[in-house]
Amino acid sequence: MLTLKQEDIVLNKRFSSKKEAIEAAGKQLVSQGYVSIDYIQKMVERDRLTTTYIGNMVAIPHGTDDSKVLINQSGIVILQVPKGVEFDGNEVRLIIGIAGLGDEHLELLSSIALVCSDMEKVRQLIAAETKEEIIGLFKEEVRA
């Protein structure tokens, strides 16, 4: 199972556009060694095909199906955006960038969906002041 580390989390980010937010999530995935740099463009491309906004102020940018070769290892990054950024007319305050190898991609999505379907948990994630708080909220649902 996936381990969520403090280095995977970025608190209090601000973005002027959806593209900037997606690219920041991609850069965080790259800096953690989960993906190669070319994966970022595939994340932008994927969102152009269909929005990565999933509701409850959460977006989960990830690569296209053909970008699996750019993934070094499965991982997620969480970018907290307390002031929000617009994704296709929706306010997003939590950006969860994902890179999943094989079936782990679906496991990551279902784990994220479990946590983010609970609006109270989402509010707690957005209000969290430490990375430990965010890890703790995910640990309740996922073995983070």
What are the pLDDT tens digits along the chain (144 aa)? 567 899 999 999 999 999 999 999 999 999 999 999 999 999 999 999 999 999 999 999 999 989 999 999 999 999 999 999 999 999 999 999 999 988 787 788 888 888 899 999 999 999 999 999 999 988 766 544
Q: Where are the alpha helices (DSSP H) in the chain?
A: 18-31, 39-49, 104-116, 119-127, 131-141
pTM: 0.93
**Catalytic, out of 13, 18, 46, 62:** 62
Class in CATH terms, 6-141: alpha beta
User: Quick check: helix, strand or coil at residue 107?
Assistant: helix
User: How many residues are listed for the chain in this entry?
Assistant: 144
Residue 105: active-site member: no
